[in-house]
Structure 1
Amino acid sequence: MKILGLDPGFGTLGYGVIEVSGNTLRHIVHGAIFTEKDKPIQVRLKSLYDQIRNIIRNYTPNEVAIERLFFYKNVTTAIAVGEARGVALLAVVEYDLPIFEYTPHMVKKAVTGNGRATKADIQKWVALLLELKKKPKPDDAADALAIAICHAHCGNFERRFVR
């Protein structure tokens, strides 16, 4: 099974695809979608939408895990991230893929064992769990892979024990 992890953001949206076979995790791809700051909001959102659809077409995930908006100090940032997240969800729904949501705390706990882990901790553990030679960059891509790994752990539990 392939899982697409998405770390929503307006300027930078992280993505990562992993394959899960039993307890084995395999890295397929990771990266980030960047939008141009000087472009109008609708153009930036359309760019996110188109690129997420391309990722889905190219890597054919079976499920999608996305970070749930939890808390933002800056209202403007929260709105922009919410818009980017909405566009990402729309792109996923058009492919009729199941969507699973995880808070940042849940992701950190599942990947590092510490719900208060730092960005550096996430990068380190993602690299270890996926047997990568280098820590994944940018941070947004590492976070997206962490979200996919979290779902692999949590989703695997649900598939085995919750019916």
Structure 2
Amino acid sequence: DPGYERIGIAVLEKILNSSDVEKLIYSDCFKTSASIVFAERLCLIGKEIERIIKKYKPKALAIEKLYFNTNQKTATMVSEARGVFIYIAIKNKLKIFEYTPLQIKSAVCGDGRGDKKQIITMIKNLIKIDKLIKYDDEYDAIAAGITCFASERNL
């Protein structure tokens, strides 16, 4: 889940021949401080994404596309953070899959109009989560991963 203040990150594994289609390997909400210069925050984000890629060795990056935001400054900063995600993923030879919020809601809830509560409930029904998740950003990242597995059959 791209951002620059709170970044939802999840690593999922597709398990074949199992009752669980996807397994949550890792998830977190990485945070950067507003007291740090924005360019340095982008570097911290890049280092964290690269650390996770090197540790878990995923094959793909599923990332949410931006929807129109009325706050141009925020939209620009989130776009720059997305660029860091995509750059690090390509540098590490990952496939990139981008999904709109509507596509993610449809894949997880079966309906593009699902709200946050419905999405979280469906995620908990689809994937076993053994930890407390405090931020929606983390659920958003898990939802993007579920969408990728539902959309990309050859992964």
TM-score by length of 2: 0.92
Partner of 1:147: 144
> In the alignment, what sits opposite 1:40?
37
Q: 1:50 to 1:133 in 2, by over 3 A?
A: closer
Aligned-partner Cα distance in 2 for 1:33–1:146: 17
Aligned to 1:21: 15
Of residues 96, 114, 118, the one that matches 1:117 is 114
Q: How does 1:1-163 map to 2 (within 5 A)?
A: 7-22=1-16, 24-132=21-129, 136-156=133-153, 159=154
Cα distance in 2 for partners of 1:118, 1:77 equals 22
One-letter amino acid of the structure 1 residue matched with residue 104 of structure 2: V
Contact 1:15/1:31 (8 A) holds in 2 = yes
Instruction: Give how far 1:132 is off.
Output: 2.4
Mark the runs of 5 or more structure 1 residues left unpaired by the alignment. 1-6
**Given the two structures, how large is their TM-score scaled by the length of structure 1?**
0.88
C-alpha separation in 1, matches of 2:84 and 2:112: 28
User: What is the one-letter code of the residue matched to 1:64?
Assistant: L
**Residue pair 1:16, 1:31 contacting (<8 A) in 2 also:** yes
CA pair 127-135 structure 1, distance change in 2 beyond 3 A: farther
Code of the residue aligned with 1:25 in structure 2: it is: E
Number of residue pairs the alignment of both structures matches: 152
Q: In the alignment, residue 88 of structure 1 is paired with which amino acid?
A: F
Partner SS, residue 100 of structure 1: strand
- Deviation digits for residues 67-110 of structure 1, max 9, x if unmatched? 11122121111001001101111111110111010000000010
The one-letter code matched in structure 2 to 1:120 is: K
Sequence identity, in percent? 35
* RMSD over equivalenced CA pairs, Å: 1.6
Residue 15 of structure 1: SS of its match in structure 2?
strand
Which ranges in structure 2 are unaligned for 5 or more consecutive residues? Answer: none
